[in-house]
Amino acid sequence: MARSSADLQEQRFQLLVNSVVDYAIYMIEADGTIATWNPGAKRFKGYEAEEIVGKPYATFFLPEDRDAGLPQRILATAASEGRFEGEGWRLRKDGTRFWAHVVVDAIYNADRDVVGFAKITRDLTERRSADQALRESEERFRILVQGVKDYAIYMLDADGRVTNWNAGAQLIKGYRAEEIVGEHFSRFYTDEDRAAGEPERALETARAKGKYEKEAWRVRKDGTRFWASVLLDPIYDEAGELSGYAKITRDITERKKAEEELEEARAALYQSQKLQALGELTGGIAHDFNNLLTVIRGSAELLLRPGLSIDKRERYLGSIIETADRATALTSHLLAFGRRQALKPEVLQLNVRLDAFAEMVQRTFGSKYEVSIDLDPELWLVEVDVTQLETALLNAAINGRDAMPDGGTLVLRTRNRPASNEVSVEVEDTGEGMPPEVVERVFEPFFTTKPVGKGTGLGLSQIHGFAAQTGGRAEISSRPGEGTRLCIVLPRSDKAAEEDDSTEAPSLPFAGLRVLLVEDNEQVRRFAEHLLEEMHCAVTSAESGEAALAVLDKESFDLLFTDVVMPGMSGVELANHVRKDFPDLPILLASGYSEEVVRGAANKFRMISKPYGFASVSQAFGEVTRSQAAA
């Protein structure tokens, strides 16, 4: 007999219900007893169909819910409203709990009488646990953020308006949450920063670079300013769209104040150290120069005595010249320390110089000392004043020798420093070494650990000054019993090495050379006049740049020889005037002060250092006249 369509439909529906395992789907009679049971109900409630069908559905409720009449209220709601939906704890057969999502639909007959209920239950225990964990985590985070008092932590929307506010923000900025949420964060900025567009720049930087970080002044509710450390991070949603910003601000006014006070204290200490160094410098200068002046004055007075023999006269003159040379060396050291030494830089290969220098030092120091070299074969070129460099190295070598009274090893070393594009020249000894408190002061002028009469204390200060003036620096490391290593660090030069000019032709004769001498110091001017007359030059003198220009308007000359540092018009200014009006006139500048050189005068004019003598002036005259003739 063929099945009716109603039977087939019921069979298909039963197959559908029985195939669902993630939902408990069953029927409840009007009196609340269970009428059907599917595999899904068995899976997460634990009952077989024969165990539960015919039992009250209240079996799944907690005792306290049954006592409170919850099962009856659910059915009553479904009967009166047609549907009930809710969540709550239910019981499995083994007594364990699970969190259930419940839907109960009333089933009506043709007369709209309730004949039963359709019940669908889903086990949401894992989802509820995850949701609960998320809520607890969010709550803990909220409590954490709200508990932070030293940082203002809050959110901005994509337009920069405040969306939440923690207790630290209220404490630091003075606003309550209800006063500031919804307001633009630019109100925390100073008027000048708002006018300069700093708030907009902060948001744009955070968007473009992923972070904005800065220290600056910010404004509290009461109008007072505080120094803030600010961090701004962009926040993106799951689709990658900007949803807002996380903002953290800290009040570091006290730290900034402490840093400023520390800087003031450092400045005061620096000034104190400068005054101490100046006192030592003044005392050292006075002592050394008094000794030199004693010799010069005494020898000069002796020269004034009548009837001196030629031998004595030559001896006294030699003593004056020798002492003047010592005074020149002392002045050179002082100028190098003060970075005022007039340098004559040239591009050179240090290794070539050091090889010859090491031989000279070895011969000078003797067999008691071993002088070795450790040279970088690929050493870069440097541009330095060779004389000043060798003076610095000699000072370092002598200090190393003095630190090894019983003999030892002195190493001269060169190295490239690729990280800083520099070249280092080292002088290392195996001597006694120095304690830290001495190392800290070794570059101070007239500071020395040597016995009285064994050193002026200017050797290391000359090294320091020379290195700094060349654009580098001097470094020193030492420990007692482990020797000392002095390092002169020099900038690398990209220029080509200069050729040896030793074959240059000798100086031209200067008999009859018309020289305009410009010197403001009367004693130096008289000396220069006598010197030029000894060179058989025709000399006309002027005591200022203005006077020299007046003379040039009336007379013609073959060479202008002028001092650099003068009152009113300087020698460089005079030279510039003369070069413009008399372009063919050779010009020679004289100075012992290098600031004009730094300004570029040495690139335009030939210069000679003071103090000068017959040989140096003759050589300079020859160079400047030949150069002008070639031009």
**How far is 321 from 166, CA to CA, in rounded Å?**
82
Phi, then psi, of 338 in degrees rounded to 5: -85, 5
- Cβ-based neighbour number of residue 314 at 10 Å: 11
Dig out the tokens for 492 from the structure: 């690398």
CB 482: neighbour CB atoms within 10 A?
A: 13
In sequence order, what are the residues at sequence separation of 6 or more whose Cβ sits closer than 8 angstroms to the Cβ of residue 126?
none
Specify the amino acid at residue 367: S
Q: Which amino acid is at 184?
A: H
- Sign (positive or negative) of CA dihedral 292, 298, 303, 307: negative
Q: Would you put residue 536 in left (φ > 0), alpha (ψ -120 to 50) or beta?
A: left
Rounded distance between C-alpha atoms, residue 469 and residue 463, angstroms: 10
Residues 6+ apart with CB under 8 A from 317: 299, 303
Return the HEC string of 204-272: HHHHHHCCEEEEEEEECCCCCEEEEEEEEEEEECCCCCEEEEEEEEEECHHHHHHHHHHHHHHHHHHHH
3 state SS of 425 = strand
Neighbouring C-alpha atoms within 13 Å toward the C-beta of 24:
30
Q: Where are the beta strands (DSSP E) in 479-558?
A: 484-491, 514-518, 538-542
User: Which amino acid is located at 610 in the chain?
Assistant: K
C-alpha 369/C-alpha 367 separation (Å) is: 5
Bridge partners for 608 per DSSP: 590
CATH number of 514-630, picked from 3.40.50.261, 3.40.50.10280, 2.70.70.10, 3.40.50.2300: 3.40.50.2300
Q: Which two tokens stand for residue 219?
A: 């404004």
Place of tokens 């009333």: 106
d(CA 568, CA 571) in angstroms, rounded, equals 10
Cis check: omega of the bond before 418, within 30 degrees of 0: no
Q: Which residue from 587, 594, 596, 591 is spatially nearest to 621, judged by alpha carbons?
A: 587
Give 5-129's CATH code, choosing from 3.30.450.20, 3.20.20.80, 3.40.50.300, 1.10.357.10: 3.30.450.20
Taking the alpha carbons at both ends of the chain, their separation in whole angstroms is: 131
Do 245 and 160 touch, CB atoms closer than 8 A?
A: yes
CATH-assigned architecture of domain 345-491? 2-Layer Sandwich (3.30)
CA–CA separation, 160 vs 155, rounded Å?
Answer: 9
Query: How confident is the model at residue 104, as a pLDDT?
Result: 93
Describe the chain by its helix, strand, coil percentages, rounded to 5: 45, 25, 30
Cβ(427)–Cβ(489) under 8 Å? no
Q: Please list, residue by residue across 423-454, b when 16 or more beta carbons sit within 10 angstroms of its beta carbon and e when fewer do.
A: bbbbbbbbbbbbeeeeeebbbbbbbbbeeeee
| Phi-psi group of 99: left, alpha or beta (phi > 0 → left; psi -120 to 50 → alpha; rest → beta) | beta
Is pTM, for the whole model, over 0.85?
no
Pair of tokens at residue 513: 């050379």
| Cα angle 293-296-299, degrees, rounded to a multiple of 5 | 140
List the chain domain ranges. Answer: 5-129, 148-251, 264-337, 345-491, 514-630
Q: What's residue 560's pLDDT? A: 95
Structure tokens at 66: 């049954």
* Pairwise CA distance, residues 292 & 260, whole Å: 47
Residue 486 structure tokens: 């002095």
Question: ∠ CA 565-321-298 to the nearest 5 degrees?
Answer: 105
Which phi and psi angles does 353 have, rounded to 5°? -65, -45
Report the pLDDT value the prediction gives residue 614, as an integer from 0 to 100: 79
CA dihedral sign, ordered 349, 353, 354, 356: positive
The domain made up of 148-251 has a fold known as Beta-Lactamase (3.30.450)
Q: How far apart are the C-alpha atoms of 301 and 493, rounded to whole Å?
A: 51
Is the fold of 5-129 the same as that of 148-251?
yes
Q: Quick check: helix, strand or coil at residue 231?
A: strand
Compute the half-sphere exposure of residue 166: CA atoms within 13 Å on the CB side of its CA: 22
* Residue 249 CA from chain centroid, whole number: 24
What dihedral angle (degrees, nearest 10) is formed by the CA atoms of 382, 385, 386, 391? Answer: -120
CB 290 within 8 A of CB 330: no
Residues of the chain short of pLDDT 50, as ranges, are 1-2, 336-337, 339-341, 451-458, 499-508, 594-598
**pLDDT in the model for residue 548:** 95
Instruction: Give the model's pLDDT for residue 142.
Output: 65
| Ordered DSSP codes for 105-130 | EEEE-TTS-EEEEEEEEEE-HHHHHH
User: How many whole angstroms separate alpha carbon 23 and alpha carbon 122?
Assistant: 5
CATH C-level class of 264-337: mainly alpha
